A and B are shown apart, each in its own frame.
Chain A
Amino acid sequence: MRITGMFTGSLLAAALLLGTAGAAAADETPDPSGTATGSSDGSDSAQAPTEAGTSFRTATAFRPGQRATAGASTGDYLYWVFPVDVGQRATVKAKIALPDSAAARKGPVTWQIDVYDGLRRRQACVYGAQTRTLTADKSSVELRCVLRTVRAWAEPWSADPLPGSYFVRLTVLDAQEQDLGLPVTTEIEAQAPSQGGAQAVDGKLSVPLTPGRTTVSQSGGGASSEGARLAASGVEPEGGWSSGRWTDRWLWTVGGGVLGALAGIAGYTLARPARRPAAPRV
């Protein structure tokens, strides 16, 4: 009986531990085939955006997993915005292609993607070719930027990435004057896989870093915001922002407790006196 009980207990603990990684991943990874919040009217549609914004204010919203496209002129500053939640490490990919009609191009064009957080602070790219030169004989180039893992909380004095909207800016960093203005097609894509509980830190922002939270309601003074909202303020991951309460550390800690208890019982079983038939008391 005791052995059966211990066996059940160990099985449970093992199941808990083994299930940890999978469960955590399933819980936190947003579904990439998600719907998009339209940047202009806020209505849901499955279409990825086909236009890009031209400033932080007009950035076009898309969801991780979507492939946003935009036609533009070489030299335009293109802005998109997408949400990244706690524990996710975002990868942004951009593809720039020059159509045949841009064959008039003379020299190399250097493209760059920059990623900014909701406070418009530039975020470092950990890996990836953020800047690349499109030589005159090539017609497309791919850029990539892997961000740091987003933390739940950070000191105000640090520029650590926090949950919220992330702006992507695609620009021509360097080009000859005569190559500016030529048509170009761009594609942008983001993935935000969860990094699991290893990165789970304590603390929590009251609201994610999405700009324009209070701008929208501030129509009394300038009456400027009526009918319009910053695309970046409506950005939200599939299924909303995580509450920040869940981390797979709960499973590890609870599993550790169970294991400790079992080990305690095992130790006691080893060290306790051998059970003898109870002698009738005198």
Chain B
Amino acid sequence: MIISSRSAAVVCGLVATLAVGLFPPAAAAADEPAGPAPRVDLVLDVSGSMRTRDIDGKSRMTAAKQAFNDVLDAVPEGVELGIRTLGADYPGKDTKVGCKDTKQLYPVGPLDRTEAKTAVATLVPTGWTPIGPALLGAAQDLGEDGDASRRIVLITDGEDTCAPLDPCEVAREIAAKGIHLTIDTLGLVPDEKTRQQLTCIAEATGGTFTAVQHTDELSRRVTQLVDRAADPVVNPVATEGAARCADAPQIKPGLYSDREKFSEHRWYRVDVLPGQELRASVSVGADRAVDQDYGVLLRAVTVHGREIVRGSEAGDGRTDVISSGLRYPKPEQDDTDDDDKQAAETVCLQVSNSFSAPASVKTTPGLPVELTVDLVDAPDTASDVASFGLGRGWWLLGVLALTGLVAGLLWGWISRLRLVWSN
């Protein structure tokens, strides 16, 4: 009896201790100072076809103007917004002149709503649809300096007819500059060709394509896109991996972007101290028409070429990115006296992709790669499969009870023997 009540006390104490230590307080998220203001350029098609009256019984231009009014009212604080037009000035027939017809209507900067609205109200559907030059112009409006997020919202009702400058290629070139630029496209009652081209432009920059049939859809979507631009984002740092580990750039924990051609691989180097865990993940984007099946491989390799761990993924069908990750915990060194042993190990990270594309698809610039590297403390390794090596279940109880019973019986029997002897 004494034994059992003592064990009960121990149990209670143990349970109480556990209950108190269950959840440690959550780490508070510190507010950080705001970064550079996000910049948005709205690019509006003012070509002659915008006169067509097929959006809620009004002309496309009227719908666009109404949407712009709503959007300009709803622009969040801290967003620098500009407006550019295409096809607003030249009504003639000359392709060469018509295809240069794009101008900045309102410069990218802090927004004066009245001024911007007045500028939009003056627009009259006039000319051609030079989307390619307009995108180049918009990229220029947004500037290439600084680290702000940039977004172009392109609103058009027809495809670009200004060959040979393919707006899709233009978009990809702009995105490849590493200026954190996204192009979202909206097609007003788009036909098949327009849809294809706008989808291609959006895909090339990680943006979205929307087909618009109604005025409220247009204003809601553009407002949503501008709001999206206002969300603070961590932008990656551009880096360039090498073809061999020996020449690879040394990278610290962080977020990196790179470009990788079809079936190319790139190397990066990371220093991992004993007792640290390396966590790396990689996404390779499909920013153009690629073949149906694709894959990505991320390997952690020692400087001597031994593979430590790998992450791989394959897929098929329509996709924006394919991603994989790995973690490599480097165990703590037992012998801490020796300084040499505490030295960091250089781990080579290899990023390879198995995307392929039809021969008609341009292979430069390469596919966008996003690499995340984290270094954290290494985890406690498991000494036993079960948590703390504890048992669970009725079998455990049965075995313990049986053991106790047998031990008790033996003990009683032994004490009986002893009594016999003592008598």
| Interface positions of A (Cβ within 8 A of B) | 1-2, 5-6, 8-9, 12, 16-17, 27, 37, 39-40, 42, 51, 54-58, 71-73, 75-77, 101, 104, 112, 116-122, 152-153, 156-157, 159, 171-175, 177-178, 180-183, 197-198, 200-207, 209, 211-216, 218, 221-230, 234, 236, 239-243, 245-273
Contacts and interface: CB of A to CB of B under 8 A. Distances in A.
Given A227-B34, A263-B404, A9 B4 contact: yes
Interface stretch (B43-51, B116-124, B347-355, B384-392): B384-392
Contact of B400 (A42, A117, A260): A260
B33 A272 contact: no
Contacts of B227: 51
B164 interface: no
Contacts of A218: 252-255
24 contacts: A40-B231, A55-B320, A56-B283, A120-B325, A156-B329, A180-B199, A180-B211, A200-B387, A214-B253, A215-B255, A216-B32, A224-B234, A224-B237, A227-B33, A250-B390, A256-B397, A257-B400, A260-B403, A261-B7, A263-B400, A263-B402, A264-B407, A265-B404, A268-B411
A206 to B, nearest CB: 4
A157 B325 CA distance: 11
A165 to B, nearest CB: 12
A224 B235 contact: yes
A230 B234 contact: yes
Nearest to B147: A224
A226 B35 contact: yes
Contact of A263 (B221, B311, B375, B401): B401
A274 B142 CA distance: 98
B319 interface: yes
B31 A252 contact: no
Instruction: Pick the 3 closest A-B CB pairs, nearest first.
Output: A267-B408, A271-B412, A119-B325
Contacts of B380: 153, 203-204, 206
Contacts of A247: 387-388, 390
Contacts, number: 375
Interface centre among B195, B210, B217, B392 (most CB of A within 10 A): B392
Interface stretch (B21-29, B64-72, B89-97, B358-366): B21-29
Interface of B: 1, 3-5, 7-8, 11, 14-15, 18-19, 21-27, 29, 31-35, 147, 187, 190, 192, 195-196, 198-199, 206, 208-211, 213-214, 217, 220-221, 224, 227-228, 231-237, 252-255, 277, 279-283, 309, 311, 313, 317-321, 323-329, 370, 372-393, 396-397, 399-413, 415-416, 419
A180 B413 CA distance: 84
B233 A228 contact: yes
Given A172-B318, A177-B195, A253-B392, A271 B411 contact: yes
Contacts of A171: 318-320
A255 B254 CA distance: 48
A227 B304 CA distance: 40
Contacts of A200: 386-387, 390, 392
